[in-house]
Amino acid sequence: MADLTSTFLGITSPNPFWLASAPPTDKAYNVNRAFEAGWGGAVWKTLGEEGPPIVNVSGPRYSAIHSNDRRVIGFNNIELITDRPLETNLKEIRQIKRDWPDRAVVVSVMLPMNEASWAKHLPMIEDTGADAFELNFGCPHGMSERGMGAAVGQVPEYIQMATEWAKSAASIPVIVKLTPNVASILPPARAAMEGGADAVSLINTINSIMRVNYDTLTMYPTTDGMGTHGGYCGEAVKPIALNMVAEIARTRETSSIPISGIGGVTDWRDAVDFLALGASNVQVCTAAMVYGFKIIDDLVDGLSTFLDDKGLELKDLVGHAVPSVTDWQHLNLNYVEKAVIDQDLCIKCGRCHIVCEETSHQAITHTVDGERHFEVIDDECVGCNLCVSICPVDSCITMKQTSDDTAEKLAWTAHPNNPMRNTD
């Protein structure tokens, strides 16, 4: 079995799977169970200032988008940062780190935009023996209305400022957790680097309203008849997170900063996605909240087996796919693929035909010689991959290259139809 020992900012953990800062890491009880189950680390649920604790709603904090068999596809929450006294959390963090010295224990913090507060609280927290800080500049609900969380993460100048305060108050590494509720992830990432961040983690949750209540025609869920937007997460957000991770990893000015990948990791393949696109480890919350901590077995086992099969070490996987990510304008327009339907696997549902016929390129037959038969019409096929994407049978429709490998590459940057083309 491939060794999954992971080192992130000099923090070693037996595997690259950390529980993200969230309800599963709010108490020693939960974190203890997670470490017993085999999780490599935990980012403690966000701590705030000393003083009267945060108050949460007592109505619904969570809701989900389900498949018909009630599998959770997307998840939403309006829970705030920890609502327990700072002192209680610090005591438990200290105990956990003492009990589990081989695990990563990182503490998430959210403090007002006031340097004195950072200077006061960070040393208190660091004293627990925690391995690193994660600055919560991401929560999009509740705390952002109070000028924290995403309210900071959406303004690069604030990110830089608060990161600087944190770095000067802390002697352990500082990770900046970014919000995806921005037009581009690069300015926040650059700001974190400018502020001296040791790493970034992303994504936090996405602004979301799940649905309406079809009986009352109010938004759903509500607390005493009123609701508010929450933060969206779970499997459905993974592609958004992967893009943001890859953007940071492939952009020259930001490519050097270590990334902790977050967003919809549910099985080991999701972890491969994040690692290959530039994350050095991954954080998980929703999958644990949906299935319990036991999912760590598949994450660890699956990733390890995968690395064995590929003959790779964990560090080789990190960033492996980044060079394959580019801008649209650099794609080779002379490269041609067409869909091929494997007639032995085809079950004749006809979905490929109808979606191609009605919504794309009229490139798949429905009848050949009077028989129900689905076949690609090469002359019409543009290689769009729609049929591959919607076919219910795995590997029944595949894409095959039809262009010659020796054909000259031609990207939009040099294409004759491009009035702005490179002429050199």
Catalytic residues: 139
Q: Which is nearer to other proteins, 84 or 351 (CB)?
A: 351
- Binding-site size for other proteins (CB under 8 A) equals 15
361 binds other proteins (CB under 8 A): no
Which residues lie closer than 8 Å to 4 by C-beta, 6 or more apart?
A: 14, 15, 16, 40, 300, 303, 304, 307, 314
Minimum distance of other proteins from residue 255's CB (angstroms): 43
Minimum distance of other proteins from residue 385's CB (angstroms): 19
Q: How far is CA 229 from CA 63, 402, 404, in A?
A: 11, 48, 52
Q: Say how far apart CA 134 and CA 98 lie, in whole Å.
A: 20
Q: Are strands 337-341 and 230-233 parallel, antiparallel or unpaired?
A: unpaired
Binders of other proteins among 365-384, rule CB under 8 A? 366, 372
Binders of other proteins among 298-357, rule CB under 8 A? 347-351, 353-354
3-state secondary structure of 13: strand
Q: Token digits for 256? A: 């050097």
Q: Say how far apart CA 247 and CA 16 lie, in whole Å.
A: 21
212 binds other proteins (CB under 8 A): no
Minimum distance of other proteins from residue 354's CB (angstroms): 4
Write out the DSSP string of 178-196: PPS-SS-SHHHHHHHHHTT
Q: Which is nearer to other proteins, 155 or 388 (CB)?
A: 388
Q: Which is nearer to other proteins, 326 or 367 (CB)?
A: 367
Binders of other proteins among 63-82, rule CB under 8 A? 67-70
Minimum distance of other proteins from residue 358's CB (angstroms): 9
Q: Which is nearer to other proteins, 325 or 384 (CB)?
A: 384
393 binds other proteins (CB under 8 A): yes
Q: Token digits for 132? A: 């690193």
Q: Which residues of 140-163 are buried (b: 16+ CB within 10 A; e: fewer)?
A: bbbbbeeebbbbbbbbbebbbbbb
Which residues lie closer than 8 Å to 124 by C-beta, 6 or more apart?
A: 50, 86, 90
Which one of the spans 28-36, 61-69, 88-96, 245-253 is the region binding other proteins (CB under 8 A)? 61-69
Q: Which is nearer to other proteins, 63 or 179 (CB)?
A: 63
Can you tell me which of 392, 395, 419, 423 binds other proteins, judged by CB under 8 A?
392
Residue from 34, 93, 78 nearest 294 by CA: 34
| Binding positions for other proteins, rule: CB under 8 A | 67-70, 347-351, 353-354, 366, 372, 392-393
